[in-house]
Amino acid sequence: MRIWDIPPEKMCRQHLLGEHRELHALWSIIINDKKAYAHHPETLRWKGKLKALYLRHEALVKEMTERGYKHHTSLDPAFATGKAVQDEFVNTYEEQVRILKEKGCGCRV
Ligand SMILES: [Zn+2]
Ligand SMILES: [Zn+2]
């Protein structure tokens, strides 16, 4: 499970759509206080920052829409509380760029 800190417009189809799917799973884990993945590093860094996660979702959806992908899964803005900016990282931005480059996918990093 990973939420990238890479601008969505740089991401390939697979990583854009994959992150979008995982973001919904993560959102559900946090708002429902689910036990599964509760201690996952990605869960921990987004707890208390649902506003920031909400904004990341908006950015992914904007890019998906521009590429012509359908989106029918809005998040409830009532839960979009806490910090609006993500300033904790599982991998630094530079590490994320390296990870994506090594995958050899279509991400333009
Ligand atoms: Zn969505
Ligand atoms: Zn990619």
Please give the distance, rounded to the nearest whole angstrom, from the Cα atom of residue 17 to the centre of ligand 2: 10
* Number of neighbours of residue 76 by Cβ within 10 angstroms: 9
**Amino acid identity at 102:** E
The tokens describing 9, both together, are 């417009």
Number of the ligand closest to the Cα of 28: 1
Please give the distance, rounded to the nearest whole angstrom, from the Cα atom of residue 60 to the centre of ligand 1: 8
Number of the ligand closest to the Cα of 16: 2
Please give the distance, rounded to the nearest whole angstrom, from the Cα atom of residue 52 to the centre of ligand 1: 14
**Sign of the alpha-carbon dihedral angle for 83, 98, 57, 18:** negative
Task: Give the Cα separation of 24 and 96 in Å (integer).
Answer: 21
CA angle 97, 103, 91 (to 5 degrees): 35
Provide mean pLDDT across the span 16-26.
Answer: 97
pLDDT of residue 31: 96
Instruction: Quick: pLDDT tens for 44-91.
Output: 999 999 999 999 999 999 999 999 999 988 999 999 999 999 999 999
Please give the distance, rounded to the nearest whole angstrom, from the Cα atom of residue 4 to the centre of ligand 2: 11
